[in-house]
């Protein structure tokens, strides 16, 4: 299968963002891609007011475009993530939508981990505008391969990717808006680590450049194979797209030679997860909730992205 990651410089103008996405998706399809992944908040990037003004429901123009385009081009389209307006709820969602070649919505994943951090002296509080999701989500591509879904800051939480791998994911989509500093220092090591440790293909589509609200994304979108080999890498300066072949036979060979998922010892891990984290007063509650799953990754409050 040929996959593409789309790199955009989204702003506050939703119509312009959709037009930019349309241009790049069509170019990737012409280049043979049958799986295309857009970046995080591709519909709107900016400050809190920009996000609220540009937020849409899943019935809005952005997902309507995604459904129409996927059906027209006969491809699996992961419509990055959108700022999702949910009726009756004050905060927005951060929702990644997988649309199949038939134009139907196959799965919706809402970002689990909120980007509430400090980077180079700047504080980000994604939880001020967005509400975290509560469900690990996988889907199925047109060729039958399982697709794991994650968004940006999720990348820093390896447990999530292990759950997706244990559920059979061969490919993981990662829409992102990593900040410039974290793209520079953390992006490639983390994407490659998730691919290696779970033996999955990572299709990681990042925002790039300056956005309204003071956010600056680092680009360098990448596609990585289960051995950690970077199959395609975008630059850190301009919008565009990258494509690469995903060789499932090669993936099976890696999994046979290094059967790490079979070598797991989950009984020991559950015993360890009951211990209190030495540096977090709230760790006992997070530990108990994460241990209810067989395992458990990045975003920005001022712009709805990460780093």
Q: What are the residue numbers of the active site?
A: 40, 111, 152
Q: With H, G, I as helix, E, B as strand and everything else as coil, classify residue 153.
A: helix
Q: Can you spell out the DSSP letters for 22-71?
A: HHHHHHHHHTT-SEEE--TTTT--SSHHHHHHH-B-TTSHHHHHHHHHHH
**Do β-strands 35-37 and 2-7 pair in parallel, antiparallel, or remain unpaired?**
parallel
Q: How far apart are CA 14 and CA 256, in angstroms?
A: 46
Q: In terms of Cα–Cα distance, which of 290, 262, 286 is closest to 276?
A: 286
Residue 260 has what DSSP assignment?
T
SS (H, E, C) 169-229: EEEEEEEECCEHHHHHHHHHHHHHHHHHHHCCEEEEEECEEECCCCCEEECCCEEECCCCC
Report whether 208 contacts 237 (CB < 8 A): yes
Structure tokens at 128: 């001020």
192, 197, 200, 205: CA torsion to nearest 10: -30
Q: How far apart are CA 66 and CA 71, in angstroms?
A: 8
Report whether 205 contacts 218 (CB < 8 A): no
């Amino acid at each position: 299968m040929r996959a593409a990651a789309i790199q955009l410089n989204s702003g506050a103008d939703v119509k312009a963002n959709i037009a930019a996405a349309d241009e790049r998706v069509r170019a990737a399809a012409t280049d043979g891609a049958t799986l295309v992944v857009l970046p995080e908040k591709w519909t709107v990037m900016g400050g809190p007011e920009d996000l609220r003004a540009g937020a849409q429901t899943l019935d809005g123009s952005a997902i309507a475009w995604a459904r129409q385009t996927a059906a027209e081009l006969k491809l699996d389209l992961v419509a990055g993530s959108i700022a999702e307006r949910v009726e009756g709820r004050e905060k927005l969602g951060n929702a990644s939508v997988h649309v199949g070649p038939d134009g139907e919505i196959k799965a919706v994943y809402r970002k689990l981990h909120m980007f509430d951090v400090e980077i180079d002296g700047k504080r980000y509080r994604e939880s001020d505008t967005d509400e975290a999701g509560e469900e690990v989500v996988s889907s199925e591509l047109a060729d039958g391969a399982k697709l794991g879904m994650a968004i940006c800051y999720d990348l820093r939480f390896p447990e999530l990717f292990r759950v997706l791998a244990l559920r059979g994911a061969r490919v993981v989509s990662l829409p992102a808006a990593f900040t410039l500093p974290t793209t520079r220092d953390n992006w490639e090591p983390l994407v490659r680590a998730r691919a290696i440790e779970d033996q999955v293909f990572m299709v990681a589509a990042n925002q790039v450049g300056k956005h309204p609200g003071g956010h600056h994304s680092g680009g360098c979108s990448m596609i990585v194979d289960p051995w950690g080999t970077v199959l395609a890498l975008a630059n850190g300066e301009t919008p565009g797209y990258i494509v690469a072949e995903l060789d499932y036979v090669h993936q099976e060979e890696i999994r046979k030679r290094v059967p790490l998922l079979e070598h797991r010892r989950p009984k020991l891990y559950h015993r360890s997860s009951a211990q209190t984290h030495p540096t977090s007063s709230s760790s006992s509650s997070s530990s108990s909730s994460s241990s209810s799953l067989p395992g458990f990754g990045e975003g920005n409050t001022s712009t709805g992205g990460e780093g």
